[in-house]
Structure 1
Amino acid sequence: MTIKNFQIDYDAINRRNIFTNGDTINGRIILEASKKTKIQSLVLIAKGEARVNFSEHYGLLGKINPEEAEDYSHKEKYYQIQQYILKETRQNEREIIGKGRHVFPFSFRIPDKELPSSFSSMFGQIIHTLKAKLKQSMIPARKAKTHFTFVSKAEMNIPGIMVSQHRSKQKSIALNSGIVLLDIYTRRMGYKPGEELHVTAKITNLSNRVVKPKFVLDEKKTYNGGEYIKVDKHDILQEKADAIKSREGTTAVTKVLTIPRQLSPSILICPIIKLEYRLKVYLDITCAPSIVLKLPIVILPELTDENHLPPTSGFRYEACGTSYEPAWINGPQAIDPPPPYEAAALYPLFSSSSYTAA
């Protein structure tokens, strides 16, 4: 095998290694040849897509029956851009590269349009990928790829996201036992991980029942498999308040919920995968159905420029044109002979891990 190593790497743009709309990704395709080698073409492919894939089992009395399982899948593509690093040639005009390690720089600009953030679960993924494809005559194409984390700016442009919220509900208790009123207020809809969510519940108990307030922040994931929609919900935070006695009149209860730092940003613009958060306030009423009020909560991405890193030394990049042709500077750079892989890296990368697929 003449190609000993084939991989793709990219430089981080900030310390959290997160990209957003319109950012430019600078990187390199690294190819190591054991001898002079003929190359038909070398192409970089940048792609963003969402995909859903899950199975549902149907059986008598709710029991799982694997023989009656149905599979559901759906895919949505957002962009796919190709840069020809070495253009495909006719069989007798193949590119020849020498023995050694060759570095092919590339520069790719993420489309500045509405795109959903990276996401991964057992039922669906939103993936932003960089892939290199190497073609040689009479040999199966070799591929190397890596994923980059993308966080969308579009989720911050929701109308009313920084405006206070209010909901109210009144319930009459059976057997002329009186009424209970619940009003809830929050300062706004959008919060970043680590921020405090202040919620106030104004409870008017004009009944002869005891009521118990409860505050819940929950997460709702929705997967659209085409003919079937799968919903996955679970509670993230839960707080209880002191019980309010019968005929107590009006009581104001305020709770402060700290948004967990590990929460992923809301995903609201993807047709087949949604990640939503809700604040639910319950009033459990003795011997009567509860009152429940819900408010949408949007977890905002943390996008700042304060941690931007300087460009990686050793390479220069020029902006790509609209045709997405590679911006070459004096062609590919070769180092001959190649160093042992155990040696210290020659390139000061701040990149995610990459892998090579045969």
Structure 2
Amino acid sequence: MFESTFKNFKINFNTSNARNSFSSGDIITGHISFDLTKETKITSISMALTGKANIHWSQGGGGKRRRKHYSAKLDFFDLKAAIVQENGAVGKAIKLQPGTHLYPFTCQIPQGDFPSSFKGIHGQIVYSLTVSINRPWHMSKNFETELNFVNHIDVNQPELRAPLSGSNSMTLCCLWCSSGPITMTVSVEKKAFLPGEMAKVICEFSNASSKTATPKVKLQQKQIYYTHNKVHQRIGYRHLASTTGEPVRAHTSDVHSEIRLTIPAASALTISNCSILVNEYMIEVNLSVIAHPDLTVLFPIILCDEPVFPQPPTVLYTD
């Protein structure tokens, strides 16, 4: 039995950042280690570095056979290399003695615009390193570990640093009467954020109605899945975080409010460079009045892996 001979198998990486992440073009170095309980013959130890995306969903009723299934797959790369191989001159297997064995490895992620790692409702993007131990007259034994792959974007793009703003208004109606308008003007200091960062939402409210309105800020995730050529699609939404501001009393105007929303640290990065899977985020600002539709302003934002600093305010100089 393999498990009784090979013990404590580990794949160890030498990473250069605290997040243990890798990106396009990175050279991956590390080593594998294991313990042998007895003398063992192997033909080779090989490795495969892969990046792929796959999506699947089904719809319809009446049991599995009647449900319609949709799926798509993408292979970004599939690289193979040997860590240890038999002596090609004599074609003999290698004898390994009992004890601890350690073998270094090196490989490189290809250059390319590959999407970040992601696991969602109906699909995933996975990068992995698989080590295979091959023995004479035995099936190979595989050990797989996933890599945290990050797609770096240019955080110096002006549109990522610029503030976002929007406004909306409504008038409450009840049968034949109506009240004064409710208005809100909202701004977010920038478009791009880090997971775990706090977003500051600046709100200006006026409530000329006879009812109290309550502001609420939410972070929504939108996942879109496509079959090839985007013939079919499936959209899924997830509510990730929310916070409530101070109520805006009836017959008040020029109410200033600053609402802070923390983006969950475990949030996946934005994905816009994959043909079968898209991951988007938006900050949703609502002003709620009981028994009436919410007044809403939406801000599309981007989650990236590097800090983006807000655009400094314009200073006007006068003589």
RCO greater where, 1 or 2, for CA within 8 Å and sep 6 or more? 1
Deviation of 1:260 (Å): 3.3
Report the equivalent of 1:82.
Answer: 80
Report the equivalent of 2:165.
Answer: 166
Report the equivalent of 1:108.
Answer: 107
Identify the structure with the greater strand proportion. 2
Structure 1 letter corresponding to 2:296: V
Report the equivalent of 1:120.
Answer: 119
**SS at structure 2 position matched to 1:111:** coil
Structure 2 letter corresponding to 1:215: K
**SS at structure 2 position matched to 1:160:** helix
Q: Deviations over 1:90-114 (max 9, x none)?
A: 8972443343454332112233432
Structure 2 letter corresponding to 1:131: T
Structure 2 letter corresponding to 1:224: Y
Structure 1 letter corresponding to 2:159: G
**SS at structure 1 position matched to 2:71:** strand
Structure 1 letter corresponding to 2:283: L
Q: Give yes or no for contact 1:53–1:225 (8 Å, CA) kept in 2.
A: no
Report the equivalent of 1:214.
Answer: 215
Q: Deviations over 1:305-352 (max 9, x none)?
A: xxxxxxxxxxxxxxxxxxxxxxxxxxxxxxxxxxxxxxxxxxxxxxxx
Report the equivalent of 1:26.
Answer: 29
Deviation of 1:157 (Å): 6.7
Structure 2 letter corresponding to 1:183: T
- Pair 1:147–1:157, CA change in 2 (3 A): farther
Q: 1:189 aligns with which of 174, 188, 191?
A: 191
Deviation of 1:46 (Å): 0.5
Q: Deviations over 1:70-95 (max 9, x none)?
A: 33332222222212335689897244
Report the equivalent of 1:251.
Answer: 255
**SS at structure 1 position matched to 2:116:** coil
Q: 2:94 aligns with which of 93, 96, 118?
A: 96
1: CA distance between counterparts of 2:48 and 2:276?
Answer: 23
Q: Deviations over 1:250-287 (max 9, x none)?
A: 33222122333343333333333333322111123466
2: CA distance between counterparts of 1:143 and 1:189?
Answer: 43
Structure 2 letter corresponding to 1:233: R
Q: Give yes or no for contact 2:47–2:83 (8 Å, CA) kept in 1.
A: yes
**SS at structure 2 position matched to 1:264:** coil
1: CA distance between counterparts of 2:119 and 2:216?
Answer: 28
Report the equivalent of 2:238.
Answer: 233
Report the equivalent of 1:316.
Answer: none
- Pair 1:232–1:257, CA change in 2 (3 A): closer
Identical-pair percentage: 22
- Pair 1:80–1:209, CA change in 2 (3 A): farther
Q: Give yes or no for contact 1:118–1:150 (8 Å, CA) kept in 2.
A: yes
2: CA distance between counterparts of 1:102 and 1:196?
Answer: 47
1: CA distance between counterparts of 2:243 and 2:272?
Answer: 24
1: CA distance between counterparts of 2:278 and 2:154?
Answer: 12
Q: Give yes or no for contact 1:267–1:273 (8 Å, CA) kept in 2.
A: yes
Q: 2:205 aligns with which of 200, 203, 206?
A: 203
**SS at structure 1 position matched to 2:39:** coil
RMSD: 3.4
- Pair 1:280–1:2, CA change in 2 (3 A): closer
1:51 lines up with 2:75 in the alignment? no
- Structure 1 runs not aligned, ≥5 long: 60-64, 304-358
Structure 1 letter corresponding to 2:150: V
Deviation of 1:167 (Å): 1.2
1: CA distance between counterparts of 2:104 and 2:194?
Answer: 36
Q: Give yes or no for contact 2:182–2:209 (8 Å, CA) kept in 1.
A: no
Report the equivalent of 2:286.
Answer: 282
- Pair 1:209–1:155, CA change in 2 (3 A): farther
- Pair 1:211–1:268, CA change in 2 (3 A): farther
Q: Give yes or no for contact 2:287–2:295 (8 Å, CA) kept in 1.
A: yes
Q: TM-score when scaled to structure 1?
A: 0.69
Structure 1 range deviating more: 180-189 or 255-264: 255-264
Structure 2 letter corresponding to 1:35: E
**SS at structure 1 position matched to 2:236:** strand
**SS at structure 1 position matched to 2:256:** strand
Q: Give yes or no for contact 1:12–1:18 (8 Å, CA) kept in 2.
A: no
Structure 2 letter corresponding to 1:184: V
Deviation of 1:194 (Å): 3.8
Report the equivalent of 1:265.
Answer: 269
Structure 2 letter corresponding to 1:297: I
Matches within 5 A, 1:336-347: none
- Pair 1:256–1:131, CA change in 2 (3 A): same
